[in-house]
Each structure stands twice: as structure tokens, then as C-alpha cells.
Amino acid sequence: MSIWEYANPKKFMQTSAWALPWAVGLTVILLVTGLVWGFFFTPDDYKQGSTVKIIYLHVPSAMMAINAWVMMLVTSLIWIIRRHHVSALAAKAAAPVGLTFTLIALVTGALWGQPMWGTWWAWDPRLTSFLILTLFYCGYMALWAAVEDPDTAADLTSILCLVGSVFALLSRYAVNFWNQGLHQGASLSLDKEENVSDVFWLPLLVCIAGFVLLFVTMVLLRTRTEIRARRLKALLARERVA
């Protein structure tokens, strides 16, 4: 039993068909619990009032926006090295999900920033990095859409993802260098003395878990769709020949 078994589309479809309902159920349970707990059963912050509650959407989506890119990087590497189609399709499936998380993070951040910082947008390093990440996602998806041959598209987008990752990392340090931040620092780290209070931390943890599972669910679903679309194409091509 090795992980490479799932490179077989048939095996992947079987396993994901079994796993998908579980993933959906767990996502719903965790998100409902986390969001309801966070929105209705936590106290207001003494300074920020109830706007603090946007954290339950903002932080998990921002985390997943970055993690989705990392997942695309790993699957692109697997495609380049071992040429498993499921891997390339999973990367393709993850990109719109990642872009959506990025946009959620940007929009919720703007909604929170307006009353708190007094502005919708500031050229803060984190905000700028996310804007650049949005551009990367858009370019990646546009390249998938522009190339007709699926294998060529998979190759080109994988190369773009690898190079883009390096430059995304560079940009992150460049913007840090370029402007001092308005954004608050990390307050969830496991190795720090001072973190956000437990009252906010526990529901946030549930929300993060919910967003991780939401991502897994969406990617499984979208990868299954891609595989089915690929099969449909093959069937149509075969009929045309026959």
C-alpha cells in the first residue's frame, strides 16, 4: 500500500467517492460549530467591539489561501517528476479554490480595516503580498484556460507554479522590506508566550479545521469533475473515430 496507488484515476475515484460524504459532513459540522460559536457565543473585544468576529472568516481563509498554493506546488512537482495525471488535475482543481480564499481574505480584511484602521486598503506588506498572490492565481488559471492540449497545459502551468513560488517568496520579503506593517503580527503561534485569548482561540481553531476540510472537500470534488470531464472527452474522441 503506497500513496502512489492513488495516482491511478480509478483507485482515486473509488477512494474519493467513499471519502467525499465524510469530508462534506465534517466540514459542515466544524464550520457551523466554529462560526456559530465564534459569532454568537464569544464576548466582544473591549476595543474592537463586535468587528473582532470577522477573524473567524479572515484568518482561516488567509491561511488556506497560502496552503492552497503550497499544495499546488507539491502536486505540480509530482506531475513534473512522476507524470501522474491525477496530480496535475488536482493542481488545476485547487487554483480557483485558492483564489476564492485569497479574495475572501482580502474582502473581509477590507471590511474590518475600514472601521479599525480607517481605510479599506493600505499598502501594508501582508495586504500587498496577498494582492500579488491574487495575480499569481489569475495568471496560473489563465494559462490553464489558454492552452488547448491538456498535457501541454499541465506542463506549462507546473513550470509556472515552480517559478512563481520562488518569486512569490521573494515578493513577500521584498514588500516586507519596502514598507512597515500596519497589520498585527501572528498571535496563534504555538511557541509564543503571548497569544490571543482562549475565548477567541478555541472557536478559531474549529474554524481553521473547518476551512481545511472545506478546501479538501472542494479539491476532491473538483478533481473528480476534472477526471470525469477527461473521461468524457476520451469517450467522445473514441466515438468520432468509430
Q: Which of 70, 162, 229, 235 binds another protein (CB under 8 A)?
A: 162
Distances (CA, A) of 96 to 128, 150, 174: 20, 17, 26
Q: With binding defined as CB under 8 A, does residue 196 bind another protein?
A: no
66 in Cβ contact with 217 (< 8 Å): no
Query: Angle at CA 213, nearest 5°, toward 133 and 58?
Result: 45
Q: With binding defined as CB under 8 A, does residue 152 bind another protein?
A: yes
Q: With binding defined as CB under 8 A, does residue 143 bind another protein?
A: yes
Least Å from the CB of residue 21 to another protein: 38
SS3 104: helix
Q: With binding defined as CB under 8 A, does residue 77 bind another protein?
A: no
Rounded Cα distance between 28 and 44, Å, is: 25
DSSP H or E segment with residue 119: none
Rounded Cα distance between 149 and 151, Å, is: 6
Residue 22 vs 178, nearer CB to another protein: 178
Q: Which of 107, 111, 156, 196 binds another protein (CB under 8 A)?
A: 156
Q: With binding defined as CB under 8 A, does residue 136 bind another protein?
A: yes
Residues in touch with another protein (CB under 8 A): 132, 135-136, 138-139, 142-143, 146-147, 152, 155-156, 159-160, 162-164, 167-168, 170-171, 173-175, 177-178
